[in-house]
Structure 1
Amino acid sequence: MKKLPIGIQTFGKIINENCYYVDKTPFIKKLEQGGYYFLSRPRRFGKSLFLDTVKEAFSGNKELFKGLYIYDKWDWSKKHPVIKIDFTEGNIKTPEDLKIKLTEMFISLQREFDVEITFQTFSGKLGELIYALYKKYNQQVVVLVDEYDKPILDAIENIEYAKENREILKDLYSALKKADPYIKLAFLTGVSRFSKVSIFSGLNQLRDITLSPEFATICGYTQTDLEAVFADRIKDFDKEEVKKWYNGYSWLGEKVYNPFDILLLFAERQFRPYWFETGTPTFLIKLFKQYNYYLPELENLEVGEELLSNLDIDSLYVENLLFQTGYLTIKNVERRLYREVYTLSYPNYEVKVSLNNFFLLHFVPDRSLKDKTENELEKALRDNQIEKLKDILHRFFASIPYDWYRKNDLESYEGFYASIVYALFSGAGFETIAEDTTNKGKVDLTIIYNNKAYIIEFKVVEDQPEKTALKQVEEKKYYEKYLGKYEEVYLIGIEFGKKDRNIADFDYKKIQEAD
């Protein structure tokens, strides 16, 4: 495998002294004419490395691109000064943190280019710097902004701080419009897609390529990339298992892998939730609880383009945050009347299992209890001892602190109990199908395991069992789609009582073909 200098190891990593890279320079060629671009992708998806490569190309460092697509297709005689504004490092939780960060950044840029900045506002400093470089190098300037939104997201749990940081950034980025005659290219990346009005006021020419099919694979590895570039590594793994664990991210184009997962898989040689472990979606879980969110809905979540596109800290939506942070991805899109409707779902096994486990730990912080419960669930189904599920689930619900029910109506909220059971089975790694559609209606939850199907219906009752959950799933014959497809099919009805906040009734029945 050919080695490249460190600065141009596009989405690569040195493993056993060999440099692996995926050539993303065809996308840089698309930027050659300049303009204003914005790209949103989840964390650790290669955005920073892509910007570094853009910087080297527009700086005219031809020798770094030998063997790459762009090498003989670029005008290397033009060397543009490149300003890189980088928010990837550090934790910027307060407006004071952000002001210090920007002050240090402009001091560093003055030293790098040996120019003097005298303006006091941050927009003034950026505008003055752009003009100074334009005059000094007699070339238009390239402005790259890495993780433009991180100062807002870092402060998201304190909305007032987040709003103040947003205003500081809005002032900073306003310089781009005023400096337009001196700018060749402005390329901004981030996790979130804040509305143009809230952040990029006046930048009407900004092209958002987040959901552009033309740029769908600008970050990440395609299946072809994986099998061609990493051929000597992937041969040691079950390709279908790798795909199940890590593939599935989609932005209206070919599905891609997160490079972070793949590189660590090859380095560590074991399947683990590498990407998920680098972040803690605590704020999202708090929103789940605040809005009594029905967790099983995440498997097939329908949203409109407006909700998907713009994040506004004045009115946060769980669905928007889940998509933009990478916990959900686009599964399907269709035109309905005058608008696009997107169906979102988990991108892969890693995210589905990990997010559901994290959700459970927010309600029951005893990790050993959660792990024990999941192990017991697996053993009960493996040994076909369905009657044990009642006691296992009863013990788990009994462990949820009473404080979770205070000042809310969770004990009467069917979706809460369904969400916990769904999270338990999903977090344990079972194949789960939430809101399973049949020609008779929708099943609350279906679990597929060991060539058996378990169809579950949930109900919330006052105090005494009503015996309606199993009756409903039996009478509506939700099970018919699974007969003949699996060795055995079971119906399970679970009723939760409001008073005890636990299982009030648990019935099950094995379905025979004759039924």
Structure 2
Amino acid sequence: MKKLPIGVSNFQELVKGNYLFCDKTAMIFDFLSKGDKVTLIARPRRWGKTLNMSMLQHFFSSEVSGVSTKGLFDNLAISKLEGGRYIDQHQGKYPVIMLSFKDVNADSFQGAYNAVYSLILRVYSSYAYLLKSDKINEIQLGQLHTILNKEANQQELEVSLELLSQCLYQHHGQKVYILIDEYDTPLNKAYGNSDYLDAMVAFMRNIFSAALKDNDYLERGVLTGILRVSKDSMLSGLNNLKTYTILDQGYSSHFGLSEVEVQDLFSKQDLPICMDQVKSWYNGYRVGDLVMYNPWSIIYCLSEEGRFDVYWVNTGNNNLIEQKILVAHSDIKEQFEQLMRGESLDISINKHLAFDILDKDDTSFWSLLLFAGYLTFETSQLSAYTNVYDCRIKVPNYEIWRLYSTFFQEWFIRQFERKRQYDSFLKHLVVGDVPTFVEQLSYFLRRSVSYFDTKQSKTSEGFYHGFVLGMLASLGITHYIRSNRESGLGRYDVLLIPKEDTKAILLEFKQVRKEAELENSGKLALQQIKDQSYHTELLQHPHVKEVVEVGIAFSGKSVLAAYSTYDLVVKKAGSVNLTSRYSQEEWEE
């Protein structure tokens, strides 16, 4: 069994180190075929950008970190395309400048400036042989020493990559590839501090312009990042830039994993696979005309022997996303209600994100979520009247849905007057006190009318499902929370399996138009639990002795439930009970 490449971003280490990986070297063929002078590829974090940049570095350079790259690609996909002529013509033939801004993560401009200077020093140290080259003149040599001795001013640092490419060209007699990974990280960090942001934008813009625009010593340039920042920002000087985002077909198969690749990875690790579950958790990302799996989540799932969990969402700071969602105006919150119940949403997307209007412009808000990987699109078409795209978006998979549910859980808690009311709300459910739980649920629904719009629709049952599931998210500490999974003869809505206790809770939801139908609907939901034997999954958990089966019916803000207790040991059901509607005054007392 091969090792899993968690945290491995060096291409040579990946190939030579007996790691399990998908061969993405066909990207080199596409790259050389397109011929763009400067290419920007925007993808969400942890989607293989750094590894693919390392792949390009190892392909074009004769050695990396003193290790030869000869023969590294001989048995990979690129060697089988066009009779291997791209290897013969290009592999190891160019000087390459490779740098990543992923660690430029300071809280001030000076701190970021120092981090960039240190990064450039590390790059320069890779080419110390230039200091002894007889093809470098004295003026250039003096400029190299100024930078290496940490004596360069800001203007000299801004042209340092251009200077290095000139010296490399003169020494090797070959133009240079410049590869810049995570180009937008400094700007993402600077967002929120206007003085820092403006200074950082100007600094980085000058570096990129000098290195990638009208640089006579440049063969090709490649940048990767999460966002395509607005043209009036860091990339404003690059009129030779071709951008490929998730809305574009170019490079769509080279970042992320296809279903065939996912199946192959599970097979090579000898792990049983239920593709429906894998798809539900980690699929759903549309890139161009393809639908791809999140690669980071798949690799981590494999490392955990096929256990499903939220892997990708925990790899970065989601505070900005959470902040923007929870402070958004009421129209956006209503649109999120639509997304959370599994529906699609028609909105405008701008490929050129403008950070300075992120707080004021809905298009920038949705664009951030889409390009950062928190949403996906079903359809996309350039608007006939503006420079934006008309897109139909949705939540891509259960992993991202779970993240949103935790955001709204915090909002839910705030709606209770005291946190102990929220804690008591959950406690009543897990101990099987269904009447009190439903009374408090009804109270919360009635208080939340300004936020939650329970308009009658064919899909509003899904809204209630997501609404309750979000409120229960904090029970993940003490319970396994299962949703919409097969058990017995069908799929239940929600199942809470205690990690240590003996009592499970099974919930089935119904939505009706008229309050007069609540009683019958609640009983029907409970009968469905019994008829479909939804408790079957619990037989795999011997410590669980009983399950409280609850059929909950909703009509607008009104709630009614039928419930019973099923003894998993003696397989004997208790009597059916029906809750009464909640009196708000009674609970507040």
TM-score range, shorter chain: 0.7 to 0.9
Q: Which amino acid aligns with 1:124?
A: V
Partner of 1:414, secondary structure, is coil
Structure 2 unaligned regions, length at least 5: 63-68, 131-140, 147-151, 359-363, 456-462, 474-480, 485-491, 495-505, 519-527, 533-550, 560-581
Give, in angstroms, the shift of residue 424 of structure 1.
Answer: 4.4
Which of 510, 513, 520 is matched with 1:454 structurally? 510
How has the CA–CA distance of structure 1 residues 234 and 424 changed in structure 2, closer, same or farther, with 3 Å as cutoff?
A: farther
Partner of 1:343: 392
State the Cα distance separating 1:231 from its structure 2 match.
Answer: 1.4
Q: Give the aligned partner of residue 310 of structure 1.
A: 352
Q: How does 1:157-196 map to 2 (within 5 A)?
A: 157-196=192-231
- Structure 1 residue runs without a partner (length 5+): 399-410, 433-446, 458-469, 475-483, 497-502, 507-515
Query: In the alignment, what sits opposite 2:26?
Result: 26
Measure how far apart 1:4 and its partner are: 12
Kept in 1: contact 2:9–2:50 (CA 8 A):
no
Q: Is the 8 A contact 2:97 2:178 kept in 1?
A: yes
The one-character-per-residue Cα deviations of 1:449-497 (angstroms, maximum 9, x if unpaired) are 689553389xxxxxxxxxxxx57999xxxxxxxxx9x99994422179x
Residue 356 of structure 2: SS of its match in structure 1?
Answer: coil
TM-score by length of 2: 0.65
- What amino acid is aligned across from residue 116 of structure 2 in structure 1? L
Of 265, 281, 288, the match for 1:252: 288
Equivalent residues in 2 for 1:495-506 (5 A)?
none
Give the Å deviation of 1:420.
11
Change (3 A) 1:393 1:273: farther
Shift of 1:377: 6.5
- Partners of 1:391 and 1:345 lie apart in 2 by 31
* 2:57 corresponds to: 55
Q: Structure 1 residues 207 and 337, CA, compared in 2 at 3 Å: closer, same or farther?
A: closer
Residue from 41, 44, 48 that aligns with 1:42: 44
String of CA shifts for 1:333-355, please: whole Å, max 9, x gaps.
Answer: 35775574211111110110122
**2-side partners of 1:191 and 1:26: how far apart?**
22
Map of 2:101 onto structure 1:
87
CA offset at residue 8 of structure 1? 6.2
One-letter amino acid of the counterpart of residue 493, structure 1 = G
| Matches for 1:483-494 after TM superposition, within 5 Å | 490-494=553-557
Q: Do the aligned partners of residues 178 and 55 (structure 1) sit closer, same or farther apart at CA in structure 2, a change above 3 Å counting?
A: same
Distance 2:295 2:266 in 1: 12
Deviation at 1:261, TM superposition (A): 0.9
The answer to whether the aligner puts 1:110 opposite 2:124 as a matched pair is yes
Alignment-derived partner of residue 248 in structure 2? 212
User: What is the match of residue 461 of structure 1?
Assistant: none
**How far does the alpha carbon of each residue in 1:262-301 deviate from its partner, in whole angstroms, 9 at most, with x for none?**
1111112221101111223222222223323413143523
Cα distance change, pair 287–304 in 1 and its aligned pair in 2 (3 A):
same
Q: 1:413 maps to what in 2?
A: 450
Residues 304 and 342 of structure 1 are in contact (CA less than 8 Å); yes or no, is this contact kept in structure 2?
Answer: yes
1:359 counterpart = 2:408: yes
Deviations 1:206-240 (A, max 9, x none): 11111321311221111011112441336423221
Identify if the C-alpha distance between structure 1 residues 248 and 369 changes in structure 2 by more than 3 Å, giving closer, same or farther.
Answer: farther
CA distance, structure 2, for counterparts of residue 249 and residue 36 of structure 1: 26
Pair 386,219 (structure 1): closer, same or farther in 2 beyond 3 Å: farther
Which of 179, 182, 188 is the matching residue for 1:147? Answer: 182
Q: In structure 2, what is the Cα distance between the partners aligned to 1:252 and 1:31?
A: 16
**In structure 2, what is the Cα distance between the partners aligned to 1:287 and 1:134?**
46
Does the C-alpha gap of structure 1 residues 430 and 456 become closer, same or farther in structure 2, counting only changes over 3 Å?
Answer: farther
**1:347 partner amino acid:** P
Q: Report what 1:321 is aligned to.
A: 368
Counterpart contact for 2:42–2:225, Cα < 8 Å: yes
Contact kept, 8 Å, 2:101 with 2:182, in 1: the verdict is yes
Match of 1:271 in 2: 308
CA distance, structure 1, for counterparts of residue 353 and residue 396 of structure 2: 20
| CA RMSD across the alignment | 4.1
Total equivalences in the alignment:
445
Corresponding residue number in structure 1 for 2:378: 331
> In 2 relative to 1, CA 63–370 (structure 1 residues): closer, same or farther, beyond 3 Å?
farther
Task: Report 1:201-240 matches (<5 A).
Answer: 201-210=236-245, 211-233=247-269, 235-240=271-276
Q: Is residue 101 from structure 1 mapped to residue 115 from structure 2 by the alignment?
A: yes
| Alignment match, 1:499 | none
Contact 2:165/2:217 (<8 A) preserved: yes
- Whole-Å Cα distance in 1 between the matches of residues 429 and 12 of structure 2? 44
Q: Give the conservation status (yes or no) of the 8 Å contact 1:333–1:342.
A: yes
Per the TM alignment, residue 182 of structure 1 is displaced from its structure 2 partner at its CA by 1.4
Give the TM-score normalised by the residue count of structure 1: 0.74
- Contact 1:143 1:183 survives alignment (8 Å): yes
Distance, in Å, in 2 between the alignment partners of 1:13 and 1:244 is 30
Q: Distance in 1 between matches of 2:426 and 2:180?
A: 44
Quick one: distance in 2 between partners of 1:373 and 1:234?
Answer: 44
Name which one, 1 or 2, has greater alpha-carbon Rg: 2
What is the rounded CA distance, in whole Å, between the counterparts of 1:368 and 1:64 in structure 2? 61
Tell me, in whole angstroms, the C-alpha distance in 2 between the residues paired with 1:390 and 1:160.
51
Match of 1:281 among 309, 313, 318: 318
Distance 1:53 1:346, change over 3 A: same
User: What residue identity is the alignment partner of 2:367?
Assistant: N
For 1:263 and 1:492, how far apart are their aligned partners in 2?
A: 43
1:431-456 Cα deviation digits (max 9, x unpaired) = 69xxxxxxxxxxxxxx9568955338
Q: What amino acid sits opposite 2:269 in the alignment?
A: R
Structure 1 range deviating more: 49-58 or 264-273: 264-273
1:296 maps to 2:348: no
8 A Cα contact 1:284 1:318, kept in partner: no
Question: How has the CA–CA distance of structure 1 residues 151 and 504 changed in structure 2, closer, same or farther, with 3 Å as cutoff?
Answer: farther
Determine if contact 2:11/2:54 at 8 Å carries over to the other structure: no
User: CA contact under 8 A between 2:249 and 2:287: conserved in structure 1?
Assistant: yes
Q: Secondary structure at the match of 2:99?
A: strand
Change (3 A) 1:152 1:495: farther
Distance 1:268 1:216 in 2: 28
C-alpha distance after superposition, 1:370-404 (max 9, x if no partner):
78856866998xx9x68843314647999xxxxxx
CA displacement 1:103-131 (0-9 Å, x = unmatched):
11222222211245246423221221121
